[in-house]
């Protein structure tokens, strides 16, 4: 028995006039350039500003790290932990140089 498979080809876009535009506020904002673009767009300015304020007000300077087992024979008892400086706080993940850079971006908009 021979089965014929249909091939679907997408039409190439040869530099056409149709541009993809953003539909709605993005689920994730990854970079400072994303914030700059959202703040420049009047539709998303307030939400982007609220997200910047949330990042600035988040206290994530410390993180908890598990060091050793409390009881090496029984993992159920848990781990000894220590508090360390967070190596990747949220403002750093977004590409800001420091927490004050987030505040500076907020001040320029307000």
Is 26 a domain residue?
A: no
Is 73 a domain residue?
A: yes
Q: Are 31 and 95 a contacting pair, CB within 8 Å?
A: yes
Is 23 a domain residue?
A: no
Is 59 a domain residue?
A: yes
**pTM confidence score:** 0.70
pLDDT in tens, 46-97: 999 999 999 999 999 999 999 999 998 888 899 999 999 999 999 999 999 9
Is 15 a domain residue?
A: no
Domain of 66 in residue numbering reads as: 32-109
pLDDT in tens, 3-59: 555 555 555 555 555 556 667 889 999 999 999 999 999 999 999 999 999 999 999
Domain count within the chain: 1
Q: How, if at all, do strands 62-69 and 79-85 pair? A: antiparallel
């Amino acid at each position: 028995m021979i089965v014929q498979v249909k091939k679907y080809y997408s039409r190439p876009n040869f530099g056409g006039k149709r541009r993809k535009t953003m539909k709605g506020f993005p689920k994730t904002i990854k970079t400072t350039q994303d914030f700059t673009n959202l703040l420049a767009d009047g539709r998303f300015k307030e939400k982007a500003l609220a997200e910047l304020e949330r990042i600035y007000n988040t206290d994530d300077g410390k993180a908890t790290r598990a060091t050793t087992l409390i009881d090496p024979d029984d993992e159920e008892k848990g781990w000894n932990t220590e508090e360390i400086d967070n190596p990747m706080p949220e403002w750093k993940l977004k590409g800001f140089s420091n927490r004050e850079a987030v505040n500076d971006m907020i001040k320029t908009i307000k």
